[in-house]
Structure 1
Amino acid sequence: MLLTVSTTHQPATDLGYLLHKHPDRVQHFEQSFGTATVFYPEASSTRCTVALVLDVDPVRLARSRGKGSPDFSLAQYVNDRPYAASSLLAVALAKVFSTARSGRGGSRQELADRPIPLEVTIPVLPCRGGPPIAHRLFEPLGWTVEALPIPLDEGFPEWGSSRYVRLRLTGEVRLAEMLNHLHVLLPVLDESKHYWQGPDEVDKLMRSGAGWLPNHPEKELIARRYLGRAGALKRVALARLAELGDDDVEMVDPVEDEEVRLPEQNRLPLNAQRYAAVIQVLIETGAHSVIDLGCGSGQFLDRLVKSGAFTRVAGSDVSARSLQYAAGRLRLEQMNERQADRIHLFHGALTYEDDRFAGFDAAVLMEVIEHVDPSRLEAVERVVWGAARPGLVVVTTPNSEYNVLYEGLVGMRHPDHRFEWTRSEFAEWSEHVATAYGYTVQRRGVGEVDQTLGAPTQMAVFTRQEGRDE
């Protein structure tokens, strides 16, 4: 099976830096079910293409599976897996390009943080539901989709089309986002997984879907197909997506004896409690201009705009696609000139100083810092508290001590989190930042408080000291 990714970004050979695979080398990566090979059919300054070829060994695949696995039959030896892209290709892609999928770009980090022109081609891809499904899944993510059905037999056109398509995607997308789109959606299109699914499968889905899946119009379809036969896991995934997005409660109504029981169930969702708590702080302190740093798809921005208490609102995010969602959510195109002048959305990274971050009464980093590599936190501190220097900074982040109350939670609360702090760790960090940059800090909890473990979300309110605005 074959996958190619091309770019015309110049110099195009930067693709090698982003993928951490040198264009001059042919590299082989052994998998439990075969061998993945990475090479570059073309590599010039104007166009560069990387190819991932997966050679599936059916005997090796069969021996790696137990008798309880699906398809324990002759179908393991006679099938389309050596030729058609499937969940196996998604697994190989995730392992071979794991560093690139995380968004780490090495010496080309600035390039890794922004969209570049990409073209993805998969010659043979199972697509249950036909080309319309491919359009429904990829177009909301900013891709231009070409899904051509492959005939059953070109010699007998009356037999019609097979369940396979030739898929071609074009668009300007961050490389890491593209890899994660494929990692999730290849098995979704095939509607089948050719490996055992463990209890961490929901975490895998949430990790690869971070930043785009919670607001995808087909997220329910994606979760259902991605998790296949695992009915309980599907309900867990939808519940966690609902906390991140704006879904109605009835979409994730749990089965009592199988569903993970969240502490917030039957109460106001935790994300809504965070929004209310932060807005209350902003109003109490008299902030009139607010910037949401790491605004994502604009859920909090929408509440800021609707509150009417703020004369100027801005949102910044590293994901251009998220900003498109935010613009749609805010209905910017339908606003009159006076309303639109009040709101500003722009692309930016918190690890780089940006004059557009400055000049606001308050800045909000809601569930943002835990997505930053610890080694880069110092850069965020310097950019926000050192350079932008708003009068007020509000930070929220998970309280890791509370995680034991989430039944069935494997790992951290969100798979894209680089860390989660205890209350003492958060206190130590917030005191350090306040002292270093001339702020005072107060901490409080958000959500239902456990007497021993505290609240699920911890919040720090930084106030700039008078005379320390240099």
Structure 2
Amino acid sequence: MLLTITTTARPATDLGFLLHKHPERVQEFGQSFGTATVFYPEAGDERCTAALVLEVDPIALVRSRGKGSPDFSLSQYVNDRPYAASSLLAVALADVFRTARAGRCRARPELPGTPLPLELRLPALPCRGGPGLARRLFEPLGWEVAAQPIVLDDGFPEWGESRYVRLTLSGSARLADALNHLYVLLPVLDDGKHYWIAPDEVDKLIRAGEGWLHGHPERGLITRRYLGRRSKLARTALARLAELGDETEEQLEPAVEEDAPADEPDAQEVAVRDAEAREGAGGGAPKGRSLSVRRREAVLAKLEQLGAASVIDLGCGQGELVGALLARPRFARVGGMDVSSMALTIAARKLRLDRMPDNRRARLTLFQGALTYTDKRLSGYDAAVLMEVIEHVDPPRLAALERVVFAHARPGHVLVTTPNIEHNVRYEFLTGLRHPDHRFEWTRAEFAAWATRVAGQYGYQVAFEPVGDDDPEVGPPTQMGVFTRDQRS
């Protein structure tokens, strides 16, 4: 990753004093996960730019997790470490510019307290929330924000935008404040860290946020994301922030609960999630059973009805279905695959693999993979589940997924669930798709047409079942296709 810091305060080369890095030297700083290099592309009296380049060594990234790490016990189950680029850059920034962040300059003690005209540039920055979230986080701090989304592939504009933005911050600020803003907010934008979040992260947040976090309108969102959505740590941090002003902890805390890992405006996905949580309140379903729970129960019931003894969850996420499968001894072999190593690591923690009894652990296989590439590890299961997965795949890549699952893996049964877009009118305030990462959502007719074509092409029969309350006008919130391989094929 690349970060540049530019000032036009004369003499601009005072930036070298503030950063404690001489403009005429190239300096390298070893990190446990790679190398950070500082150099000056330009250094004159009228304009000076310092660049921090972080080169990540994937081998060093893996080796840096020693036996003393809380996550070491997971390495035998999940062999890819979370690769949170913004978190890595924030750690490197904190190490390389430690003295500058603290606002100290022995040679020129008057400089750290002086606001400077600054321009901070990050040409490619993970931002789970898009340009709008970047503006919401930085503008209240006095920055002029330019955030342009980066497309997935210039050659395929129909694939849409990636989760990366090109970010430029302009304004007048003390350099120490600017660095601390970046240190806290880079991993917040990415919504992930590459290391275990321990209780001492609260102290780091409070120190780095001194003077600005308490009054930030998005302090709840910042606190929650920075602390990895660990509610106990977030409450502790908010309580300490409350001590800095007149607010009570209760006045600050709702901002945490309203945060959602979504694109702006966030409220839309929260509304959908709340509506789905209320799906169980009607139709005779017990109160408190959300749509996600009812969906998982419907899949489990169907797998038991089909008599499957071995099941693989394709796109297993954080392992909710995998855990439910393991809890039923009738499923003698359980697999979980996901493209996200972060999700797999979280799944491993939630499943408590390091403390799981040997007989249960022997039934489980977790691994990273992509559904658009053939993989022999997907074969040999009675049933495969694609639960709320296909809508996250770009339409041009669906054909590859079809071949991988139905032509190469060829389980006896395939269960596919996906949102029914017709039901979206029942969600108040929803103006688009249910989640910002959805590439499409299908009507019942569109899903039936796709499933029927796939079944006929690859030698399967398909039946359709509703999940959730089946609205007489717009159908159920979730639709499920149950594919059964033709015995003759």
TM-score under structure 2 length normalisation: 0.55
- Which stretch has the larger CA shift, 307-316 or 235-244? 235-244
Q: Is the 8 A contact 1:439 1:462 kept in 2?
A: yes
CA contact (8 A) 1:87 1:192 kept: no
1:444 shift after superposition: 1.1
2:441 maps to 1:420: yes
Aligned equivalent of 2:386: 365
C-alpha spacing 1:223/1:81, structure 2 compared with 1 (3 Å): farther
Provide the rounded CA distance (Å) in 1 between the counterparts of 2:269 and 2:394: 25
Cα separation, partners in 2 of 1:189 and 1:125, compared to 1, 3 Å: farther
Tell me the equivalent position of 1:224: 255
| Paired residue secondary structure (2:465) | strand
Instruction: After TM superposition, give the deviation of residue 451 of structure 1 in Å.
Output: 0.6
8 Å contact from structure 1 (residues 126, 164) kept in 2 = no
Q: CA deviation at 1:342?
A: 0.4
- Cα deviation for residue 413 of structure 1 reads 1.1
Compared CA separation, residues 7 and 188, structure 1 to 2 (3 A): farther
| In 2: Cα distance, 1:336 partner to 1:348 partner | 26
SS of the residue 1:141 aligns to = coil
Q: Does 1:270 align with 2:322?
A: no
Query: What's 1:332 paired with?
Result: 353
Residue 192 of structure 1 deviates from its aligned partner by 3.4
Q: Which one of 295, 308, 311 corresponds to residue 316 of structure 2?
A: 295
Instruction: Assess if the C-alpha contact under 8 Å between 1:263 and 1:406 holds in 2.
Output: no
Query: Residues 327 and 192 from structure 1, CA distance in 2 versus in 1: closer, same or farther, beyond 3 angstroms?
Result: same
Q: Are 1:432 and 2:453 matched, yes or no?
A: yes
Residues 122-133 of structure 1: pairs in structure 2 closer than 5 A? 124-125=177-178
Assess if the C-alpha contact under 8 Å between 1:394 and 1:462 holds in 2. Answer: yes
Q: Take 2:134 and 2:214, find their aligned partners in 1: how far apart are those partners?
A: 9
Out of 406, 430, 448, the residue aligned to residue 427 of structure 2 is 406
Distance, in Å, in 2 between the alignment partners of 1:299 and 1:413 is: 20
Which residue of 1 is the match for residue 217 of structure 2? 192
Query: Which residue in 2 is equivalent to 1:307?
Result: 328
**For each residue in 1:72-94, what CA deviation from the matched residue of structure 2 results, as whole angstroms up to 9, or x when unmatched?**
xxxxxxx9995799943769989
Give 1:142 shift. 2.7
Q: Distance in 2 between matches of 1:7 and 1:460?
A: 52
- Give the alignment of 1:71-470 within 5 angstroms: 87-88=134-135, 95-99=147-151, 124-125=177-178, 141-143=193-195, 163=209, 191-192=216-217, 216-218=229-231, 224=255, 238=270, 240=272, 263-265=279-281, 266=287, 268-468=289-489
Q: CA deviation at 1:99?
A: 2.5
CA drift of 1:217 comes to: 2.2
Structure 1 pair 105–310 and aligned structure 2 pair: CA distance change class (3 A):
farther
State the alpha-carbon separation in 2 of the partners of residues 284 and 414 from structure 1.
31
User: Displacement, 1:335?
Assistant: 1.6
Query: CA offset at residue 238 of structure 1?
Result: 5.0
- 1:339 deviates by 1.8
Instruction: Show structure 1 runs of 5+ residues with no match.
Output: 13-24, 27-37, 52-78, 108-112, 114-121, 151-159, 166-186, 195-204, 250-261
Q: Secondary structure at the match of 1:381?
A: helix
C-alpha distance in 1, partners of 2:272/2:413? Answer: 31
Aligned to 1:177: none
The superposition leaves residues 436-455 of structure 1 with CA deviations (integer Å, 9 ceiling, x where unpaired) of 10000001110001111111
Q: Name which one, 1 or 2, has greater alpha-carbon Rg.
A: 2
Counterpart contact for 1:140–1:217, Cα < 8 Å: no
Residue segments in structure 2 that go unaligned for 5+ positions in a row: 6-28, 36-40, 43-48, 59-84, 90-114, 122-132, 157-161, 163-174, 239-252, 260-264, 282-286
Q: How many residues align?
A: 335
1:338 CA displacement: 2.2
| Deviation digits for residues 185-216 of structure 1 (CA, Å, limit 9, x no counterpart) | xx98983369xxxxxxxxxx9xxx9xx99x83
What letter is aligned with 1:216? R
Q: Where does residue 183 of structure 1 map in the other structure?
A: none
Write the distance in 1 (CA, Å) between the matches of 2:54 and 2:193: 27
- Counterpart AA for 1:191: H
- Relative distance call for 1:454 and 1:191 in structure 2 (3 A) is same
Q: Which residue of 2 aligns with 1:62?
A: none
DSSP 3-state at the match of 1:412: coil
Secondary structure class of the residue paired with 2:441 = coil
Specify the code of the residue in structure 1 equivalent to 2:444.
R
Report the CA distance between 1:363 and its aligned residue: 0.1
Question: What SS does the aligned partner of 1:431 have?
Answer: helix
Higher mean C-alpha deviation, range 444-453 or range 79-88: 79-88
Percent identity between matched residues is: 37
Q: How does 1:19-34 map to 2 (within 5 A)?
A: none
| Whole-Å separation in 1 of the counterparts to 2:192 and 2:54 | 30
Read off the aligned partner of 1:96 and give its amino acid letter.
Q
Across the aligned residues of Structure 1 and Structure 2, the Cα RMSD in angstroms comes to: 5.4
